[in-house]
Amino acid sequence: MTDDQLLSQLLQKALPSVDAPRPPADLWPVVVQRAAAHEKVSAADLGVAAIIATMLLMFPQWFWFLAYHL
């Protein structure tokens, strides 16, 4: 047996495989929730966008300042 095979055997004993042929629960609803949460635009996002748009209308010279910081 080569050194690599010995090391491999040692690792297999130290890191036994986890017997889990399938997820313990239906994870599809969690995937859907995750997708919905990312697709929804929050009120906070809309608020920030509105503030930035207002500021740019009032002070157009701030464009580069905002572009640098956002």
The Cα diameter of the chain in Å comes to 77
Of 27-35, 42-50, 53-61, 62-70, the window that binds other proteins (rule: CB under 8 A) is 27-35
Residue 4 binds to other proteins (criterion: CB under 8 A): yes
Residues within window 34-53 making contact with other proteins, judged by CB under 8 A:
34-35, 38
**Contact call for residues 69 and 48 (beta carbons, < 8 A):** no
C-beta closer to other proteins: residue 22 or 69: 22
Is residue 25 within the footprint of other proteins (CB under 8 A)? yes
What is the rounded CA–CA span in Å between residue 54 and residue 60?
Answer: 10
Which value, in Å, is the radius of gyration of the alpha carbons in the chain? 27
